[in-house]
Amino acid sequence: MSFRYCCVMFALVPLVASAQDRPLSEFPLWPDGAPLTTGTEPGDIPTLTPFWPTFDRATGSAVVICPGGGYGHLAPHEGQDYAKFLARHGVAGFVLKYRLATAGYRHPAMLMDVQRALRTVRANAADWGLDAGRIGVMGSSAGGHLASTASTHYDAGDLDAEDPIERASCRPDATILCYPVITMMELTHGGSRNNLLGPEPDDELMRLLSSELQVTADTPPAFIWHTWEDAGVKVENAMMYAAALRAAGVMFDLHIYERGAHGLGLGVRDYTPAKDAELLPWTADLVYWLRARGFIGG
């Protein structure tokens, strides 16, 4: 089934930055070391990797992308492939390498990483040719849980902070959730919860990290998709988040497709524009939604 809520079209104002103004390769979120860090190995260093659209396509919008992997690893096809697809449509994609349980981390390290990523993109928007009011977050599976957590746990920034990045808001302007883990309660994905919260989390912490219980009227609008036959993460996760948004009066676009295993991504690996004809239907639905929300033109 598919529920489509109409959105207001915003005027697109493409922004252009010279090539030297923006990062072209992976960079650390905290140059002097992340809070709660326990080492200096790659897994201890959260980073962003940018994927820029060509200047003739760029719309000035951006999305921070949280790959899935059960909070134990990061799936490339849910990171760089999404970023390349978004760039194809004029949206700058920033793939987040967040800290994981396999490197010894649990909540709140992951949330700190995605919040810092959103602040970083927003704080640098003017220099990078981006619109600070069109910065979204995207995630699949456990990465969808992280994206939904970022969409329900945010602040306006600390105006008194010495670090200019910390002065920026970490609220996303839009949320894209692909077969997401949403709840930490009964219908959760057990592996993701264990990696994020440990084997015996208390009820209060599980409720705090159950995104369907944290939605408010200020939660960003969302595009959500899942499949009925997903055996990895129950489809009820997507439905619960949509229901919470509906109850709060927040717009969303929910797509539940009958067929498809967990972890589908785009439906192709190593995305290039030559593979557009092979993409799953949700990708066209997403483009429609992003256009309606003013993230892309045409």
Cα distances (angstroms) measured from residue 16 to each of 10, 24, 57, 242: 18, 15, 10, 35
Identify the pLDDT of residue 10.
38
In a domain, 216, yes or no: yes
**Assigned token pair, 175:** 């949320």
In CATH, what number is assigned to the domain containing residue 265?
Answer: 3.40.50.1820
> In the predicted model, what is the mean pLDDT of residues 6-26?
58
The reply to whether 195 falls in a domain is yes
pLDDT the model gives residue 297: 83
Between the alpha carbon of residue 188 and those of residues 181, 191, 286, the distances in Å are: 7, 9, 25
What total number of domains does the chain contain? 1
Q: What is the mean predicted confidence (pLDDT) over 266-290?
A: 97
Q: Give the H or E element holding residue 133.
A: none
**Residue 181 located in a structural domain:** yes
Q: What does each C-alpha distance from 70 to 128, 157, 188, 194, 276 come to in angstroms?
A: 32, 29, 11, 9, 28
Report residue 198: phi and psi, to 5°.
95, 170
pLDDT of residue 2 exceeding 50: no
What is each CA distance from 82 to 86, 226, 235, in whole angstroms? 6, 16, 21
- Report pLDDT for 225: 98
Classify residue 137: in a domain, yes or no: yes
Please state, in angstroms and as integers, the Cα–Cα distance from residue 281 to each residue in 17, 175, 187, 297, following that order: 33, 18, 26, 19
Mean pLDDT of 266-287: 97
pTM: 0.93
Q: For 210-245, what is each residue's pLDDT tens digit?
A: 999 999 999 999 999 999 999 999 999 999 999 999
Q: Name the token pair of 173.
A: 């302007």
Taking Cα atoms as reference points, which of 143, 79, 84 lies closest to residue 110? 143
Residue 14: inside a domain, yes or no? no
Q: Which helix (H) or strand (E) holds 49?
A: strand 47-51
Please state, in angstroms and rounded to a whole number, the distance separating the CA atoms of residues 87 and 81: 10
Instruction: Supply the range of the domain harboring residue 187.
Output: 2-8+21-292
Residue 16 lies in a domain: no
Residue 297 belongs to some domain of the structure: no
Look-up: residue for tokens 């994609």?
93
Residue 139 lies in a domain: yes
Model pLDDT, residue 21: 79
3-class SS of residue 257:
strand
> For residue range 177-200, what is the model confidence (pLDDT) as tens digits?
999 999 999 999 999 999 999 999
